[in-house]
Each structure stands twice: as C-alpha cells, then as structure tokens.
Structure 1
Amino acid sequence: MSDLILHHYPTSPFAEKIRLVLGYKQLAWKSVIIPMMMPKPDVVSLTGGYRRTPILQIGADIYCDSALICDVLEPIQPLPTLYPDAHKGLARIVAQWGDSLTFGPIMAFNFQPKGAAEVMGNNAAEWVTAFVQDRQAMRGGAPRMSSSDATATYKSYLRRLSDMLSDQPFLLGDQPCVADFSAAHPIWFTQHRTPSVASVLDATPLVKAWLDRMMAFGHGQFTEISSGDALVIAHQSTPTPLGDEPFQDDHGIPLGSEVVVAADTFGTEPTTGQLVAATRTRLTLRRSEERAGTVHVHFPRIGFTLKKAST
C-alpha cells in the first residue's frame, strides 16, 4: 500500500481528530502542511474543488471528510478499533453529533474576542481580514453564533459528556472509539489553542481528565513532505481498483455520468468529475488534472450532495 499522506495544518480541529486517530492506531504517515485559507492550489489540484481540512491521500486516491478518513484507516489497522461491535451504531451517531452539532457552538465560543486574539496572534491586519472573510465564505455568509449563546450551549454539551464519563474512562466504555475522537477535537482547540477561555472546562473535571487521556495517544510516527511531492506521488500512481460493492442508485444518475459533489453545509465548494462508484457509504469521482494526473476523489454519503453536472 502507498504511504498515508495527510494534508492538514496544525491548528485545524478536524485535522487534530485524524492526527489522534493515527496516533491511537500507531500508524506511520506523511505530513503535508497546507494553507489555513484559500487559495489552496495544490489541494484543489487533488480534490477538484473541495477545500476543507484535512484530506487523506493514498497514492492517487483522495479521501475527503474526517468521517470517511476514519473508515479508510480502520481496515488498514483494524486494532485498536474505532467501531467496537457492542456500540458500532451508537459510536457513529455520537461521532456525528460531535463533528456537526457541537462543533459550531464550541468554535463560536473559542472565537470570542480573547480567544480570537490568541488564534490571530501577531498576524497583520490584512491577514486577519482575509481569514475572517474566508471563514464567512465557508459558512455561506451565515452569522456565527453569539458568544453568550455559544457559552450556554457549550456548557450544556460539557455536562452531557461528563455524564457519559461518570463511571468509565471513555464515552462508550473502557476503550475509546470514533465518538471520542469526534467529541474531543473542538475541546482540544479550547484547551490548547485558546487557553485564555479554557476555564469553561473547570466545572467538568471528568471531561478535562478524558481530554488528557485522548491527547496521550499522540500523533503516531510521521515525516514531512511538500505539497509538490504529494502531487508527484499522485501523478505517478494509479487509483486503487474499485471493489465489487453494489451500486446504490438513490439519485437516478448512472455510473459514468459527469456529476457534482459538494458538502451540504460549511465549505460547499463543488467537485466535478465522472461518477465511478456510488456505494451505500461513499461516492467516488474520477478526475484528471495536469499536475495531479488521474485520481479518484472519495466522499462519504452523509453530509454531501450529488447532482448531475450541467451540460
């Protein structure tokens, strides 16, 4: 199998989720640091438009969205598992809650003035303006939740997590699962990226202790390569042959059609390509681009929309 290449940047919460999964599974990987905001020409060369962080590259296969990346890493290193048999469905449901419902309010809390000042650091005013505009574009112009509403919501979520940890070290038992990694990453941002507002965690010491246990998994073994090197690897590789999982047609769009896939919320930049697989869990587009060559770009079903490309 080709190397695991993670395209990410250090302060990305969803990238931290995957870095911790790689550490938990003790996988070796290559690190490509990408820009925090657009333009991201090398990322777009690989994905065709999708710009959220992180993405996982394995040769000429490009995997978008952290939920799908977890599914891809599981068979590569089955143990320790992210999906224990006793809680397989529940683990995915709680993970989706962590990645979607909790993420927005927690990040709105983190980006109150004191926290935002820590994130922005000593960057020039032009950079700060560009960053704010970039995130507004990712939200489709929707306003961020107010700090006061975000604070109340965050405290409620922390109490719920604390209740889940009252008699066990991880959310669903004695071992972590995908739910833990999905719930941890925005709280990691509070603790490690905006420490001036991290006192919100003091009322739930069980959550703080759990977060310490999650951080102890580390990031595994990795070496750094450039985005240019990653593009060369993609160009010199061939997409992995598609499996024999049945075609699931929920849209009336046959395989081989030119289609558009986009996230349904937040970062909805579209990717256009030839639909070569549509299984019960994922969509795969074949794309050809001068710098990346021919690649397969994979998306999860949940959280993404599929439609036929305009002719």
Structure 2
Amino acid sequence: MVDLILHHYPTSPFSEKIRLILGYKQLAWKSVVIPSIMPKPDVVALTGGYRKTPFLQVGADIYCDSALICDVLEHLQPAPSIYPEPGKGLARTLVQWADGTLFWAAMAHNLSPKGAAHMFAGAPPEAAKAFSEDRKAMTGSMTRLRPADAAAAYKSYLRRLSDMLDEQPFLMGQVPCIADFSAYHPLWFTRVRTPVLADILQLTPAVLDWMDRMNAIGQGNMEKFDGTRAIAAAAAAEPTAVGHGLLTDSTFQDEHGIALGSHVSITAESFGPEPTEGELMAATRTHYTLSRTDEKAGKVHVHFPRIGYALKAVAPA
C-alpha cells in the first residue's frame, strides 16, 4: 500500500470532500496541514505554482484538483466504488454542477457580511483583510453572486437535492457515490463554518438527514505529518513512469499541437489562476502530467485533470 499524503486544512470544503472519500474507502492517510492563504512555500515546492486546496502526494507524484484525486483513490481502492454503475456518467455530470454552480452559490451565501463576521470573530482585523485579498486574487475576473442572489439560488438548489432524496437515502440510490461527496462539502461549510447562516438548511429536512448520513462515514485512518517530511519524501522518491502507477491512461491525445517533451504551463480555467510550468510528459483524454525539478523536492511529476485546465506552450526560463 502506498503512502497517501493529503495537503489540506481543516476548514477547506474540497478537502472535506476528499477526507470523507478516504473514510468511505477506509484508507489510511497522512495529514499535512497547509496555510489557507498565501504564502505557501512548501506547497509551491511540490506543485510548482498550483496553490488550491487540497492536493494529494504519493512519493514524487503530486495530484492536483479534487476531481483527479477522486479518480486516483478509485483506482487505488476500487471497492466501495464512488462511481458505481449504472449512472456513472450522470454522476460525473452532477459533480460538475455541485463543484461549480452549487459550490459558488453556497460560498457567496456563506461569505456574506454576517457569515464573514462569524468566521473572523475574535481575529485581528488584518486576518479578514488578508483572507479577502487572497481569495480576490484567486477569483480574478470570475462573476461572483451577491449574497441576496446567492441565498435565493442556494435555496433552490437545496430543494432540488431534497427532491432527489424523496425515496432513497443518497442522491443516486442506496449507497453514496461521487455526486454525494461533491454536493455535501459546500453544505458542510455552511453547517460547520458559518452556523449563523445554517438556518437555510432547515428548509429541507431531507437534506439535513442526508448530511448526517454523509458525516457518519468518517475520515478513515489519519496520521499527522508535516510539510518538511512531505518534501523529504518527494526528494527520496522517483516519479512514477507515465502509464504506470495510479494513472494508467497513457494514450496521447493532441488537441493543441504541442508535442510531448515541450515546455508548457498548466493553469486553471477559472478559480486559482497560478500556473505550473514543466515538461509535458502526458496529455491523455483525462489528464495532463508535467515533470519539473525543485531545489528542495527534487524531480516530481505534477498531474492535473484535463477538464477545467488550460495547456499552453511557453519558452523555458
């Protein structure tokens, strides 16, 4: 069994999604708690620039974005599956809605003035300002809902989830699937991080019951770790050869006219625009892999999902 090192922080909603999946699959994992805002020197040493939370490390392989992490965990531990048949395609489509539309409506509601005041109650004024400036840099030109519009949308989305739970315990049947984990985490943030706004959840009792079932899954077997040891683990390992390890899809799919071996950058299409540069090792139907070398972490392979990320050729520094 490989060592799974999750770089996260306790109040990160996407991290809660992955922590619950680790629990569902009863996997042991090492916990590296990272800062919620920049600077993140240990993060950048491993990823080369990507700074969203969480990311998963297995030796000298770095898996970015919860969508790709889910695929890696499914490959590592196929049962119980988070992509059960039939309906796998529908579940993945629902995930894109939950991780995008639902998430941003929920977070705009959660970070309304009342929610933000609760989050930073007792903290120095500069803490709230630093968080706001950090997230502003990450959202860039994204259109953000105003709190009143977000609350209205959030209520509608909660009703839709409630309708899906009318005759079954989970969104797509008798057992949880990836759609449940993705829809749960923004609601979890409302309930746990901004409880002063959690009355919105009371409008849909079936959703609250479902949230209790999801929470009961737990988070697996966690061992505390730290960034220094994580970087040392990367430096002591060799990246997995393309087509082996936890990403077995290696067939080159060229949509850009960029050859393997080219110096490229990978950037999120929307939230978190910081690029990672390196040598293009793989561009398959599902993911990209870059090879890069850091003075502390050594040679690493950084992996990204194909959907949601932009590939560009760049001149080497």
Same fold (TM over 0.5): yes
Deviates more, 1:182-191 or 1:237-246: 237-246
Q: What secondary structure sits across from 1:202 in the alignment?
A: helix
1:241-260 aligned within 5 A: 241-243=241-243, 245-260=250-265
- Could you tell me how far apart the structure 2 residues matched to 1:308 and 1:282 are? 16
CA deviation string 1:36-56 (max 9, x = no partner): 000001000000000000000
1:67, 1:300 within 8 Å by CA — same for their partners in 2? yes
**Identity over aligned pairs, percent:** 60
Partner-residue secondary structure (3-state), 1:85: coil
Alignment of 1:113-128 (within 5 A): 113-128=113-128
1:269 equivalent in structure 2: 274
Q: CA deviation at 1:245?
A: 2.4
Q: Secondary structure at the match of 1:10?
A: coil
Residue matched to 1:294: 299
The worse-fitting range, judged by mean Cα deviation, of 94-103 and 115-124 is 115-124
Residue aligning to 2:151? 151
Q: Is the 8 A contact 2:142 2:271 kept in 1?
A: no
- Aligned with 2:311 (options 300, 306, 309): 306
Task: Measure the CA separation in 1 of the matches of 2:125 and 2:202.
Answer: 33
Distance 1:254 1:49, change over 3 A: same
1:9-63 CA-to-partner distances (Å, cap 9, x unmatched) read: 0000000000000011110000000000000010000000000000000000000
Distance 1:44 1:265 in 2: 19
TM superposition shift of 1:66: 0.2
**Cα deviations by residue, 1:266-290 (Å, 9 ceiling, x for unpaired):** 1010000000011110000000011
Q: For residue 246 of structure 2, what is the aligned residue in structure 1?
A: none
CA contact (8 A) 1:103 1:186 kept: yes
Corresponding residue number in structure 2 for 1:175: 175
Q: Distance in 2 between matches of 1:150 and 1:110?
A: 9
Deviation at 1:2, TM superposition (A): 3.0
Q: Does the CA-based 8 Å contact 2:57-2:63 persist in structure 1?
A: yes
What is the TM-score when the length of structure 1 is the normalising length? 0.98
**Length-normalised TM-score, structure 2:** 0.96
2:81 maps to 1:81: yes
Matches of 1:121 and 1:263, distance apart in 2? 32
After superposition, the C-alpha distances for 1:59-107 in whole angstroms (9 at most, x for unaligned) are 0000000000000000111111010110110110001110011111110
Distance 1:143 1:111 in 2: 15
Could you tell me which amino acid in structure 2 is paired with residue 295 of structure 1?
A: V
Deviates more, 1:244-253 or 1:23-32: 244-253
CA change 1:85–1:142 in 2 (3 A) is closer
CA contact (8 A) 2:31 2:224 kept: yes
Question: Which residue in the other structure is 1:223 paired with?
Answer: 223
* Counterpart residue identity of residue 62, structure 2: I
Which amino acid is the alignment partner of residue 285 of structure 1? L
Partner residue, 2:20: 20
Inter-partner Cα distance in structure 1 for 2:101 and 2:146: 15
Q: Deviations over 1:110-157 (max 9, x none)?
A: 111221122223221112111100000011054632110000000010
User: What CA distance in whole angstroms lies between the structure 1 residues aligned with 2:36 and 2:262?
Assistant: 33
Contact 1:136 1:142 in 2 (8 A): no
CA distance in 1, matches of 2:117, 2:13: 17
After superposition, the C-alpha distances for 1:239-294 in whole angstroms (9 at most, x for unaligned) are 11211621111110000000000000010100000000111100000000111100
Aligned pair 1:107/2:112, yes or no? no
How many Å separate the matches in 1 of 2:264 and 2:141? 25
The one-letter amino acid of 1:262's match is: T
Which shifted more, 279-288 or 108-117? 108-117
CA RMSD of aligned residues (A): 1.0
Deviation at 1:310, TM superposition (A): 3.2
Q: CA deviation at 1:163?
A: 0.7
Quote the Cα distance in structure 2 between the aligned partners of 1:129 and 1:115. Answer: 14
Residue 217 of structure 2 aligns with an amino acid whose one-letter code is: F
Structure 1 counterpart of 2:60, one-letter code: A
By how many angstroms is 1:191 displaced? 0.8
CA contact (8 A) 1:4 1:58 kept: yes
Supply the distance in 2 between the matched residues of 1:288 and 1:229 (Cα, whole angstroms).
Answer: 18
Structure 2 unaligned segments of length 5 or more: list them: 244-248
Moved over 6 A (4+): none
Work out whether 1:66 is the aligned partner of 2:66: yes
Gaps (5+ residues) in structure 1? none
